[in-house]
Chain A
């Protein structure tokens, strides 16, 4: 029983981070209709930015997070403004392919610049943990979970309440109508992609604290983000949180009861089933 409880706690903590990973992907997909296959590579870049801020300038990783987000925001903004905007009206397959190309380029550049070694962001309190009803809760994982949740809620409020957030949602619903109301899509698209990249950067920094980073982690993280975005639907950040928690718990339970090698069968199997049964996502709107 206590083992089950521990596994559920682990799953929830992992799920919060998963949700943050998927959030940027879901935002870009929902608004720009680009499935960004380079999303995982952006997460990887964020992890390295955070790692070098920590080891090079000895900035605490949680303090370095805003800086990481800023760097990734700038990178994402430029990428969309000067490259992806060029193909945005091409058939969906071309945008899929170009983001894959970007993924390959970023992975190789990262391998050349950072080497293929595994890196971990290891602050002094990395080993600390406390007990919660008999389950051990690592402090860094809880912090990562809290930051992930906070960022998700901030994004939700931003999209719902601010002028720019409304412009982004309007663009997602109807580009032509938004244009008529004075939205400048080139900037809004670049801003949205920048936001998605910033969220990926934050997720990367947190991932570097709770796990290990190398240049090749991107692909599987993209696939996971994808599964979560599908399970949660693209309409609301809150759905993405639910999707992240769901996947985190399912993976942890599968690893315990069926075997660690089956964890991926569970997550991708669920993805396939959800797609076949409800293509708009488990929590998505029915069309």
Chain B
């Protein structure tokens, strides 16, 4: 409730920070569906985000359609991409899946830079709409929607199917889980939410070009936020996104060129000492106390 009312009480710069953080949290949460629950480390979610951005931008700039239609177009593009490419790509496991999705993102940058309707590599400029409060509410609504979807996944037959795929895909198939269908659905659902976030971001920023729309760094950011918070948990990715964005925002105003360095160091330390994220730390810290960190290192070291 407090967060929904933020535009009426917070300062303009805080609202802008809020919009970008809400969108990042949405992305982390959307990644959570395919990466956290199904266990497929997708580096291609920035493609969904980019398709959402470009779908919205092309509809509004080239065809003069309203924003809502653009959002829908972007979402349709992303879901179509997830189904068509998900079918062959989701057959790959582990590193191979991760790298293949990474390469897909690179291919999309290069393709979009050569397409006329997408403005080639100069990009597109969207009509300006002043009203950060509106964008804030849209981003907030989207995050709530995505989190509700994750909540449903965590409790549903579909979600249990995804988790069984994550733990042991062969066993899941033997037990009657239609693994291909489940994985493609998870990929498409993840893409749907990421595309909506991309569309809102494009309209808010009013400018986009291929390199920033399909930025792999953004994909890595959502993964880090999800993993830091706890992949495969309902609120972990959201908490991770808010914590990391908050710290990074404070750091970048204090010491601007060290904010990026901070991200790198956090990843390294988090992977070594709390590989299952804040959610797991919260659950098991009471049991282990400070030994929790040493225990993680002991289990995973050579």
- Taking Cβ atoms with an 8 Å cutoff, the residues of A that contact B are 29, 35, 83, 85-94, 96-98, 100-105, 107-109, 111-112, 185-186, 189, 219, 223, 226-227, 230, 259, 261-262, 264-265, 268-269, 271-272, 275-276, 279
Contacts and interface: CB of A to CB of B under 8 A. Distances in A.
Given A87-B275, A275-B96, A97 B227 contact: yes
A223 B261 CA distance: 21
10 contacts: A35-B98, A83-B272, A86-B300, A91-B275, A92-B94, A93-B98, A101-B264, A264-B110, A268-B103, A271-B100
B121 A101 contact: no
Nearest to A223: B106
B260 A85 contact: no
Contacts of A83: 268, 272
A85 B302 contact: yes
Interface stretch (B139-147, B186-194, B201-209, B216-224): B216-224
Chain B at the A interface: mostly helix, strand, loop or mixed?
Answer: helix
Contacts of B106: 223, 264, 268
A186 B267 CA distance: 23
Interface string B254-267: 00011011011111
Contacts of A271: 99-100, 103
Nearest to B96: A279
B99 A275 contact: yes
Interface string B95-113: 1101110111011011101
Interface centre among B103, B109, B223 (most CB of A within 10 A): B103
Contacts of A96: 41, 95, 98
B271 A90 contact: yes
B125 interface: no
A200 B263 CA distance: 24
Contacts of B251: none
B103 A223 contact: yes
A108 B41 contact: no
B129 to A, nearest CB: 32
A276 B100 contact: yes
B114 A262 contact: yes
B22 to A, nearest CB: 24
Given A97-B224, A261-B121, A89 B300 contact: yes
Given A101-B268, A271-B100, A276-B89, A86 B110 contact: no
Given A112-B257, A272-B100, A90 B267 contact: no
Given A89-B299, A223-B103, A271-B103, A98 B264 contact: no
Given A85-B302, A89-B299, A223-B102, A97 B264 contact: no
B301 interface: yes
A89 B227 CA distance: 17
A105 B261 contact: yes
B43 to A, nearest CB: 9
A228 to B, nearest CB: 12
Interface in B257-302: 257-258, 260-261, 263-268, 271-272, 275, 297, 299-302
Contact of A94 (B260, B264, B271, B302): B271
B110 A265 contact: yes
A96 B109 CA distance: 23
Contact of A102 (B268, B299, B300): B268
B88 interface: yes
B216 A97 contact: no
Contacts of B88: 276
Closest CB pairs A-B (n = 10): A101-B267, A104-B264, A105-B264, A90-B300, A108-B261, A101-B268, A265-B110, A98-B271, A268-B103, A268-B106
Contacts of B99: 35, 226, 230, 271, 275
